[in-house]
Each structure stands twice: as structure tokens, then as C-alpha cells.
């Protein structure tokens, strides 16, 4: 009976095992069949994926700081063109791309052109700087984004969080995604509204910061979008058909080709008894649209023969694209509906320029500013684009010391009676003034603040300096102390005693055979009690010491090891204050350094005597900061040149700024460690 039961169980078990093996085989086969197209499509594009490291300028507090960031991109041609987002690399000072090959090869890149309105930038890899310039370069192909349907499988490739390249999978959620109304005015790139011409491909392939600029691909292994934004778990990609057109224009012309009319379009208002057209929301003063008679409230029916219609906001980007695509400086016919009558006008749009011009830094003045664009001048109600708009003033520099002071948003219009048309003029006038007066000069600056026209005098060539007055030398002892408080005296079983306890002896600064030790309780000097028993009495002992002459001896009453004794101590010459040590300030690398002070060596081992200069200040987000240099570092070498003092540092940095080497290496002592720090500055 038992045998029968066992046989039945064995038969059943064998059946189950066979069924499981068959089921697992079929499941694995199905899964493999399902994932094969995905794996194949990823394999086509992944080798062309790049991680982009960028150093970008950012105006902060009257100076241009430098920040490092990263994003993603894709190689789109065998000669090394890379597509990414404008917000990744459009304002870059330095670009390095890391390939997805086994070597994680790093290649420098240059910015070919950028388009903030479409959030597209094009880079070009410097292939001649590769280890093997003739090695073939992987690249990806464009796909047709118009073929995408909701529910289609897509993959997002990129470098989220600046980690190594990766891929996530999702489906298309929306092919015409736009920003909600409350976000349209808030999301801008260089003054351009994000979404004015873009309807994103919404998808749920997971993306994070760092995925920006990376490709969205279909199951054919084609780029169908450039990932740009994310909302919670939903991502948004710029359609490939739109991105490809912008990329081709940038490669051919260095910029996208668009025109400016001065019109803002809106979808038709509810309740309007019309079934066609797009609403003209505003017309800027002195714009081409204003000149040809277009008015706010008109319904725009057709643009150069192309019908336009915007019942809902999702249709606006299409209308904007048609308007912006009109040929600049050429006549185009627009058909309007005004008071239920059709009106035809001839529009001659201008070349579209960036709303925001580049930030310019003026180190001698201690300010940053920018030239006016056409739109900026209109917004500021200015008759022309002359002048420099001040955006920030650096504390402690020439402009900040002027009376009356120049403020943010003021406009500099003249220097010493010469009209300032732009930032180049201002730089030239400042240089002329300094060159003609040995590097120092007072300049008369005229600036506008609203409707006011003000004058001020700015003194060039002088910076606010710390007080460097030589201090009178008084007696000093090479030690630090703490007050013998009542609680401390009780804990040491010497209740009622007053004085100080030695907490540190500066052995490298002390005379030979200096008799005092750490832990000594000092009670009196030459019979005078050290009347200190509260924390507030911390300066009583140092004041008593300073009353003596340098070189004089005195008898110290102290407790050591529980026993009271008298020790003769000779007062020493104090080391000079740090303020008297020579220093050097470099505006290019944005660091301050000084010669080493004897106290800088005190915490080091007896055998560890460091030669170099002390880094006393590193401007946040300057080149030295990006290299990793920190306040308190002892700089000992620059590009293998030993640095013994600030004069040698000034000389080597001056030579570096002439020679423009690709890399600069700092060798520093930081605590008990040494380290090499390297930076590759942008010399443009």
C-alpha cells in the first residue's frame, strides 16, 4: 500500500516538474520574444549615447561664478555632431562628453549653436583629440515622431544623476503634451517661454535630472524625441521631427532661422462667435506687427496662405511655429478678421535675436551687466539699444565704493563724456583710463535710474584692503590657556585657587628649554595672583604678560602634578600678525593666498615642515574652486613648479595666463594628506 502511494506521488511529482519545466520554457521563450526588439533597438542607439559634463557661467553678486553640471546627449553623425538640450550646454564655457564604449572615452566638444526657444543645442566632438582620431564613431538615426501613438513602447536613454549611461522603458502617454497655464510664464530659458513652439511627447519611462538632452527611442532603434522635462513620473520629450529641423539649421547656419513680428498669440476666447483663427493677444510698440497695423484683439486667419486655428491651447505651438518661420526682411501677407471683416496686411518681420544677451563681467569695475536686445530695450521703454544694463555689483570693489552708488538695473550710458553703446565700449573706455594713468584712474560715469540721469565718480585700480598697520610688539609666551573656573578647580581638588591652565604649548615657536608644560596650573607672576576664575576672565593672563618687556624673566607660581613650585620663564618676541604677511589676489582663478605664518606649522609633526603658501580665500564657483582648492590648503606646487612664497605664485600664474595650458595642476597639503587638484579652464 505504501509502495503504491509512493508510486502515485512520484508520478504526480514527475508530472508537476515536467509541467513546470514546460511552462518556464514557454514563459522564457515568450519573454525573450517580447524583449528581443527592445534589446535590439537599445543596442542600436546606446553606443551613441554620451554623458555631457559642462562648466557654465552664472552671475552672482557682481561676478560670474562657474558651476559644473551634467546632462545627456546623442551622437547623430559619423563626424561627431551631438544633440542635447539648450539648458544642458547652451551657455557652456567648457564641454566634455563621455562615450558609452568600454573605455568610457572622454572627448572635448565645442558648442556649434543653440536655440533656447526649442531647448535644443548642437555640439561637435573634437575628434582630432581622441586617442585614435580615425576610430569609427557610433551614431544614432532620427525616427519619425509623427508616427508615435499613445501606448507605443519607448525607451529613455541618458545619465540620470550624472551616473553612467542607462536606459528605462515606458509607453507614450500623450503626443501633444503642453504646460499648464500657471507654469508657462514661470518656465523660461534665456527669456524665452518654454513650450511656445513645443508640444512634448509625454511618456512614463523614468527620467531624473541628468537625463535632459538624452534620446527617447522607439522599438526600431530610432530617435523619436529629446528628453527635456519631467512631472512626477511623467517625462516630456521634444519631438524628433521638430528637433531634427532645428539641429539641421544650427549645423548649416550656426543658429535656428526664425523671424520676429512682435505678436503674442492666444487661443480664441470662449463665447466668441467664430470657428476659425487665432487671437492676437498683444502687439509690441515699434514692432513689425505694429507698423503694419495689426492690433490686439484681431483674429489671425492665415499666415502667408497657411490657415491657422487655435480653439484650445494645445494648438498654439503650431501657430507660433508658422509665424516664426516667416522669412525675415521679406514681405508676407497676413489675413485678419477685425469687427467681422477680413483685413489683409503686409508684414515684414525682422530677424529674431535672443531676448537676453550674454552676461559680461567687468573686473576693474566690480560689476556684471549685459547689452540690450531689441525686446529688452522695448521692455525698459528705451529709444534704442545703447547703454549697459547693470545686473550685479561686487562688494568691496570700485563701483560699490562710489558715491552715489550704482545699483542693479541701472543703465550706464557714458564714461568721461563718451557715450556707451554697449559693453565693448565700456571695457574700452575703462582700459583707456587705466592705461593713461598707470593703472589707477578716477572716471566720471553717467547712468540712468528710471527717468533720472545721475553722475558718479568711480576710482579704478584700488581695492578695499584690510588694515595692515604694523602692531607694536609686546611680550608673548608660546602657549594657549583656559581659565581655572571654580568648577574646574573643584574637579582638580584645588578649590579656592585662581589662575589659568596651559592647554597647548607651541613647541616650534618656543625658546629652547622652555619650562612650561601642558597641564600646568599658573597661579601667579612675580607674586601677583592671576585673578581669573570665570570664563569672562579669559584675557586677564594675556594682559599681565603684555606688561613685561621682551626678554625679561619672571617667576611663575604653578601647580604641576599636584605640587606647587616656582619656575623662571623668559618672555619672547611674538610672531608677526598674519595681517603683516604678504598676500596675493588673483582675479582669473579667484583665489587669495599669503605667505606662511609660523603658526601654520604649529600643528604639524616636528619633521613635517611645509614650504608653500596658505590659501586664505577661494571665491565660490571660481576656477580655483572648481579645481577643488579650499581655504586652509597649503599650496606647494603649480604645474610641477615649487611655490615658496606669494611672489613665486604670482609669477607662475602670470605665465600660465599667457601660455594658456590645457590643464593646471595644484599640489596641496591638506591636513595630514597631500593631493593633486586639476582644472581645465576656458581661455576664451
Which residue, 467, 439, 421, 434, is CA-closest to 578? 467
Q: Please give the Cα distance from 612 to 633 (Å, whole number).
A: 10
Q: What is the CA radius of gyration of the chain?
A: 36
Q: Please give the Cα distance from 392 to 198 (Å, whole number).
A: 33
Which residue, 451, 449, 455, is CA-closest to 417? 455
Helix (H, G, I), strand (E, B) or coil at 659: helix
Which residue, 440, 442, 413, 418, is CA-closest to 429? 418
Number of C-beta neighbours around residue 385 at 10 A: 16
Does residue 25 have an active-site annotation? no
Number of C-beta neighbours around residue 342 at 10 A: 11
Does residue 212 have an active-site annotation? yes
* 684 Cβ contact list (under 8 Å, min separation 6): 93
Task: Indicate the burial class of 527 (C-beta count within 10 angstroms; 0-12, 13-18, 19 or more).
Answer: exposed
CB 300 within 8 A of CB 308: yes
Q: Please give the Cα distance from 263 to 278 (Å, whole number).
A: 11
CB 439 within 8 A of CB 397: no
Number of C-beta neighbours around residue 316 at 10 A: 22
The dihedral over CA atoms of 315, 316, 317, 323, expressed in degrees to the nearest 10, equals: 120
Task: Indicate the burial class of 184 (C-beta count within 10 angstroms; 0-12, 13-18, 19 or more).
Answer: middle
Which residue, 303, 301, 283, is CA-closest to 293? 283
CB 374 within 8 A of CB 385: yes
Does residue 86 have an active-site annotation? no
Which residue, 107, 76, 71, is CA-closest to 86? 71
Number of C-beta neighbours around residue 660 at 10 A: 9
Only one residue has cell 593633486, namely 676
Q: Please give the Cα distance from 404 to 410 (Å, whole number).
A: 12
List the catalytic residue out of 119, 371, 425, 600.
Answer: 119
CB 502 within 8 A of CB 595: no
Angle at 141 (CA atoms; ends 172, 216), nearest 5 degrees: 25
Helix (H, G, I), strand (E, B) or coil at 108: strand
Beta strands 563-570 and 583-586 are unpaired
Output the CA–CA distances (angstroms, integers) from residue 471 to 201, 468, 546, 576, 580, in the order listed. Answer: 70, 9, 13, 8, 9
List the catalytic residue out of 70, 100, 212, 621.
Answer: 212
List the catalytic residue out of 41, 56, 87, 240.
Answer: 87
Residues annotated as catalytic (active site), given as ranges: 87, 119, 212
Amino acid at each position: 500500500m505504501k509502495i503504491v502511494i509512493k508510486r502515485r506521488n512520484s508520478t504526480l511529482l514527475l508530472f508537476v516538474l515536467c509541467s513546470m519545466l514546460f511552462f518556464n520554457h514557454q514563459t522564457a521563450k515568450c519573454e525573450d520574444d517580447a524583449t528581443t526588439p527592445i534589446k535590439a533597438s537599445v543596442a542600436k542607439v546606446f553606443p551613441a549615447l554620451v554623458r555631457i559634463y559642462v562648466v557654465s557661467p552664472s552671475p552672482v553678486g557682481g561676478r560670474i561664478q562657474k558651476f559644473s553640471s551634467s546632462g545627456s546627449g546623442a551622437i547623430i553623425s559619423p563626424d561627431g555632431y551631438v544633440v542635447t538640450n539648450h539648458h544642458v550646454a547652451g551657455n557652456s564655457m567648457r564641454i566634455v562628453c563621455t562615450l558609452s564604449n568600454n573605455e568610457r572615452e572622454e572627448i572635448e566638444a565645442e558648442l556649434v549653436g543653440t536655440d533656447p526657444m526649442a531647448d535644443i543645442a548642437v555640439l561637435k566632438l573634437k575628434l582630432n583629440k581622441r586617442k585614435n582620431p580615425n576610430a569609427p564613431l557610433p551614431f544614432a538615426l532620427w525616427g519619425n515622431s509623427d508616427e508615435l501613438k499613445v501606448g507605443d513602447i519607448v525607451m529613455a536613454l541618458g545619465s540620470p544623476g550624472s551616473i553612467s549611461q542607462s536606459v528605462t522603458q515606458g509607453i507614450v502617454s500623450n503626443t501633444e503634451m503642453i504646460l499648464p497655464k500657471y507654469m508657462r510664464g514661470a518656465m523660461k530659458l534665456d527669456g524665452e517661454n518654454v513650450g511656445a513652439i513645443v508640444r512634448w511627447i509625454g511618456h512614463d519611462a523614468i527620467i531624473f535630472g541628468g537625463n535632459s538632452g538624452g534620446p527617447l527611442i522607439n522599438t526600431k532603434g530610432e530617435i523619436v524625441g529629446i528628453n527635456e522635462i519631467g512631472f512626477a513620473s511623467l517625462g516630456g520629450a521634444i519631438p524628433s521631427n521638430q528637433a531634427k529641423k532645428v539641429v539641421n539649421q544650427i549645423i548649416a547656419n550656426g543658429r535656428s532661422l526664425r523671424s520676429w513680428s512682435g505678436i503674442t498669440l492666444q487661443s480664441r476666447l470662449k463665447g466668441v462667435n467664430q470657428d476659425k483663427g487665432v487671437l492676437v493677444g498683444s502687439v509690441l510698440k515699434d514692432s513689425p506687427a505694429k507698423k503694419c497695423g495689426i492690433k490686439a484683439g484681431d483674429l489671425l486667419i492665415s499666415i502667408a496662405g497657411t490657415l491657422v486655428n487655435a480653439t484650445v491651447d494645445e494648438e498654439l505651438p503650431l501657430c507660433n511655429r508658422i509665424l516664426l518661420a516667416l522669412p525675415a526682411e521679406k514681405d508676407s501677407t497676413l489675413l485678419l478678421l477685425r469687427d467681422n471683416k477680413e483685413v489683409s496686411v503686409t508684414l515684414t518681420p525682422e530677424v529674431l535675436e535672443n531676448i537676453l544677451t550674454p552676461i559680461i563681467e567687468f573686473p576693474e569695475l566690480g560689476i556684471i551687466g549685459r547689452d540690450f536686445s531689441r525686446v529688452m530695450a522695448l521692455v525698459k521703454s528705451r529709444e534704442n539699444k545703447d547703454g549697459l544694463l547693470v545686473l550685479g555689483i561686487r562688494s568691496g570693489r570700485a563701483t560699490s565704493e562710489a558715491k552715489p552708488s550704482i545699483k542693479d538695473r541701472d543703465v550706464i550710458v557714458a564714461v568721461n563724456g563718451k557715450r556707451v553703446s554697449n559693453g565693448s565700449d565700456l571695457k574700452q573706455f575703462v582700459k583707456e583710463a587705466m592705461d593713461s594713468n598707470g593703472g589707477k584712474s578716477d572716471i566720471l560715469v553717467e547712468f540712468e535710474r528710471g527717468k533720472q540721469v545721475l553722475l558718479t565718480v568711480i576710482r579704478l585700480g584700488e581695492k578695499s584692503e584690510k588694515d595692515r598697520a604694523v602692531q607694536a610688539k609686546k611680550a608673548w609666551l608660546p602657549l594657549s590657556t583656559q581659565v581655572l573656573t571654580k568648577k574646574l578647580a573643584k574637579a582638580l581638588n584645588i578649590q579656592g585657587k585662581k589662575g589659568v591652565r596651559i592647554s597647548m604649548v607651541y613647541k616650534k615657536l618656543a625658546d629652547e628649554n622652555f619650562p612650561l608644560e601642558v597641564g600646568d596650573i599658573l597661579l601667579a607672576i612675580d607674586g601677583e595672583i592671576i585673578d581669573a576664575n570665570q570664563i569672562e576672565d579669559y584675557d586677564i593672563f594675556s594682559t599681565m604678560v603684555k606688561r613685561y618687556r621682551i626678554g625679561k624673566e619672571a617667576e611663575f607660581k604653578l601647580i604641576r602634578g599636584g605640587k606647587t613650585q616656582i619656575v623662571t620663564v623668559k618672555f619672547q618676541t611674538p610672531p608677526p600678525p598674519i595681517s603683516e604677511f604678504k598676500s596675493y589676489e588673483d582675479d582669473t582663478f579667484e583665489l587669495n593666498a599669503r605667505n606662511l605664518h609660523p603658526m601654520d606649522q604649529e600643528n604639524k609633526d616636528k619633521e613635517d615642515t611645509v614650504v608653500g603658501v596658505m590659501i586664505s580665500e577661494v571665491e565660490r564657483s571660481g576656477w580655483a574652486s572648481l579645481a577643488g582648492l579650499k581655504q586652509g590648503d597649503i599650496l606647494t606646487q603649480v604645474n610641477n613648479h615649487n611655490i615658496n612664497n606669494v611672489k613665486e605664485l604670482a609669477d607662475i600664474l602670470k605665465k600660465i595666463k599667457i601660455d594658456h595650458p590645457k590643464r593646471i595642476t595644484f599640489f596641496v597639503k591638506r591636513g595630514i594628506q597631500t593631493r593633486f587638484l586639476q582644472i581645465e579652464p576656458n581661455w576664451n
